[in-house]
Structure 1
Amino acid sequence: MSKRKTVSADEKRERMLQIFHEKKDFFQLKDLEKIAPKEKQIVVQSVKDVVQALVDDGLVDTDKIGSSIYFWAFPSKAKAAKIANLNNAKAKLEEYKRKLDENLDFLKRERIGKEDSNERTDLLKKLKVLQDEKSKLDMEVNKYKDLNADDFEKMLKNIDIAKEAGNRWTDNIYSVKSWCRKKFFIEDSMMNKQFGISEDLDYID
């Protein structure tokens, strides 16, 4: 006799959402404990935990009416939530790109008429890493056009990585300015004007 295939936690969540989206109705927990095992192969013992996890994530609504607790979730809400999250992710990515472009412009100007140095070589290596991360982010944005939930989670993680990388690059800019200030006694305002550095250059929140 073949072993019964184990259903992962993510698959249980997806199947439970399917029940709500397909039936478009209101349910008590006892109703879901009858439907889920029969139609979606979710063991009855895990139904309560799966539903609660969906409620905690804002994917399923719940309310108490009299002495009974009801649960519901309609496809329109899930789609709206995904679109809102996608727009937020895109806005963060655009802000990161803007900061990155400013830093790239600074590096290009900083190289004009100067001999290569160990500091500049190190910065260029870091720049290459940052550009590679940006390319990966662009690819993730393209993958997310269909609002796939798994791709969206990966996108959020990559945005955090990119934000950290952008802040590291901002650290590099400040380090270069500090080095020039100590070695050549150049004020920050003059360096900003000379190399076209924005006065409001700051870390990404």
Structure 2
Amino acid sequence: MSKRGLSAEEKKVKMLEIFHESADFFTMKELERLGPKLKGVNYWSFPSAAGALKQAALTKAQKEVEMVETKIQESHASIDDAEKGREDTADKGGAVDIDEQAERRKLLSIREDLTTQSAALKKELEAFGAADPAKYERKKAAVQICKDAAVRWTGEEWDDLRV
């Protein structure tokens, strides 16, 4: 079975051992020569590996850009489709059908009136919500559950608290 290589931290420790054991000064050339002999430390770097990593990152970034551009185009297309029925025909420069425009404006105003009326009715319903019989019954049941729990935790001598 082949021997496992040293990690970067182990290499640092071994190089420090060389300095501490000898207590001497070394040039880089001497360290490169002594490291493998004394402690078995070998350093290497492959220039092509760095280039391959950069190329992979570039390819990934280009794919992401393409995906974003297609999503933008799809969004613009869906916006255009949604706006087709909402424009006035006079703005399009085509044939003007006044009856359709008037009816559309009338329907939009009716819709606006109904929306405001609905909001007012919801506000009124919230105001009368406290007097709702169903809410009252739920609160009454919750109070009874709380009273039962209080009796259970305080003991039987407080049983006369039940109403």
TM over 0.5: no
Bigger Rg, structure 1 or 2: 2
Bigger strand share: 1
* Bigger share in helix: 2
- How does the TM-score come out when normalised to structure 1? 0.24
Bigger relative contact order, structure 1 or 2, given CA contacts below 8 A and separation 6+? 1
